[in-house]
Structures are given as C-alpha cells and as structure tokens.
Amino acid sequence: MKLVTVPFFISHQGCPHTCVFCDQRAISGASGVLPTAGQIRDRIALWRSTAGDRPLEAAFFGGTFTALPDEIQAELLAPLQPLLEVGTLDSIRISTRPDCMDADRVAWLSERGVRTIELGVQSMDDTVLAASGRGHSAADSMNAIRCIKNGGLKVGAQLMPGLPGDTPLSSLASLEQVIAAGADFLRIYPTVVLQGTELAQRYAAGTFVPLSLDRGVSLCTLLLQRAMQAGIPVIRIGLQADHGLDAESVLAGCWHPALGQLVRSQLYADLLCRYIQPGGCVTVYCHPARLSDVVGMKRVNLQSQARRGVQMQAVPDATLNKEELKIQTEDSTVTYSIISDLHYSIHEV
C-alpha cells in the first residue's frame, strides 16, 4: 500500500551554512518557526482521517534536522512517539546534510521511529561542493550513506546538477557514486537561481551561467535513465512549485512546475523517434499511468510525430509495465523499453 507522507517544513532551522543556491524561505514557504507538539499532533490526526488504511509517515523537510540542538530534535520527535506506539503513525523521515550524520545519530533516530533519511548530497565532486559553499565533502556523503545503511535505515540522496563548476559528466559521476554507495532512492533538483541568493549575484555579474530548461531536461533524461537502469527510484525531479517558488523568485535556471513530466516525456519522445519510421499510421500502447507522458505536455510528442508525417495514437494497456511501449504499425508490433532500448551519450547533453 502506498505510503502517505505528512510534510512538516522546518525551513532554515538548524542549518549553520549558506549554500550559494539556497533560499530556504523561498523553498519551504515557511517563516522559520518550528511546529509545536500540538500542531504536529493535529496535522497527523487530520491526515490520518483521510488516509484510510494507508501507512502514514511524518516527514521533516527543508532544514537540517540533525544540526538542530539535541533537545529540539527530541521535542519534534516526542509527540510522534505515542502515535507510533498505537499505529496511528508508521514511520518518520527527516532530511539533513551529510556532515551532520554519524552512527550514534542514526541509532538515536532509529530508536525514535525514523526509518528514512534524506541527504542533501548535491554533488560528489569536491570542486563543485566548494564552489557552491556547501561546507562538506564527497567523503562526508559517502560516510553518511554508509552509517545510515549500516543502521538499517533507508537513505535518499538529493542531487543538484548544474551547480557552479558542475558539468554533465560530473553530474553523471555523482549519480553513479551515490548509487554505488547504496542510496535507496534519489531526488534530482537541477540548479535554479533564486532571488536573494549568492547565486543570483553571480548570475547578475555574469560569473555563473545556469543550465537552461532544455539542457536541464536533456541532462535529467539521461540521469533518470541511468537510475532506472540501476533499479533506483527517482522520486522527484525539480523543485516543487507549491513551496514559495514562482516566476518572480526563480530568476533563471532549469525550472518548470512539471519538470518531472517533461523529463519522462522526453524519454518516450526519444524512443518514439528512434523506432518509428517517418510516415504512416502508428498505434502506441503504454501503461495507463504513463499515457500523459507518452502523449507529452500539450500533446507535444504527437505533434512532433505529425511533423515526421506519422499519424500516431496512444492507447493505454495495463499489461505493459511502465517502462514499455508497444509500437504497432501495418507491418509489425514490437515492444520496446525506455530502460534498455535507448542509448544516451553524456557528450551530447
């Protein structure tokens, strides 16, 4: 049964750093005030009432949970303990920095019901990390992932392609390193230039050139496919639009409110172009959950096939898995996979 996540945004709380890209207020939409015990209980009760039998997870996003003073961490987790005991709540997730994690902290969190830890890895290239003011190294990320895995918890890695000094090659290397280290899932947040950040100043001065949307989509498409090939879920691509991000706060960079759909759609578009010959009528079958990705935003994939003289219709087929497309022409019916039947080169990004 699919997990229901109850989000608590703790904003910039606990973080002693100022990464060049970070404006936590813009991302979380919160004022930096931590939720009270009563607010935590009330929100869990509300979500429980609508979640039915589905398991419920409380998630502290946005800040650096394990850099908060110990007593604050304990205060945030305390109201959740009775709920875990009676089964109202099933688990807790936190997010933090790689250099704020060690085996003792993992054990302490595990005893209090934390089952998943998300790390803001961003890059596994020390030059990129330094140029981005992260204040930690790739070795810190490796160490944190190891500690969390050894403690029996799930670990997610957030990656941020397009940071200062980053290249498509180093983005790919970062992804491959966190997968090899044992990350259970990924989030990919291409760098955006937010108002009020150090990056905004560099952008204005012309010393930082962000990824464009098109280039970011190409890069994320390749990264997503690599993660799929490794069997690692990418649970989010692109910052969420509903947390204070809008056309005014985003000055530049690879941002779109539905970036994940653009990226998935690109995978299918590439498969269609690769395996459909120009001209003629084609029926493309796909998993029902992927129909909108196959068609593309504003039917872009159908239109690009039409420009090749292909009259294409997309039809849902629940017998296919989400990565498959069955392409039926007058002469043949062949099933392809976006995982194994597309071959991207990082040098083309």
Could you list the residues that contact ligand SF4 (CB under 6 A)? 12, 15, 17-19, 22, 24, 63-64, 97, 120
DSSP 3-state of 61: strand
Distance CA 59, CA 342 (A): 36
For 316, phi then psi, to 5°, come to -70, 145
98 vs 216 by CB, closer to ligand SF4:
98
Q: Closest separation between CB of residue 64 and ligand SF4, Å?
A: 5
201 vs 313 by CB, closer to ligand SF4:
201
19 vs 83 by CB, closer to ligand SF4:
19
64 vs 66 by CB, closer to ligand SF4:
64
Angle between helices 213-230 and 168-181 (to 10 degrees): 30
Whose CA is closest to 155, among 118, 100, 103?
118
How many Cα atoms within 13 Å fall on the side-chain side of residue 122? 30
Distance CA 335, CA 117 (A): 37
Q: Closest separation between CB of residue 19 and ligand SF4, Å?
A: 3
Q: Closest separation between CB of residue 25 and ligand SF4, Å?
A: 10
Distance CA 267, CA 156 (A): 23
66 vs 266 by CB, closer to ligand SF4:
66
Residues 6+ apart with CB under 8 A from 226: 172, 175, 176, 179
Distance CA 313, CA 332 (A): 16
Q: Order of strands, edge to edge, in the sheet holding 185-188?
A: 4-9, 56-61, 91-96, 114-122, 154-159, 185-188, 234-237
Q: Closest separation between CB of residue 124 and ligand SF4, Å?
A: 16
63 vs 216 by CB, closer to ligand SF4:
63
Distance CA 133, CA 121 (A): 13
136 vs 256 by CB, closer to ligand SF4:
136
DSSP 3-state of 232: coil
22 vs 109 by CB, closer to ligand SF4:
22
Angle between helices 259-275 and 300-307 (to 10 degrees): 30
Distance CA 233, CA 53 (A): 24
Q: Closest separation between CB of residue 292 and ligand SF4, Å?
A: 32
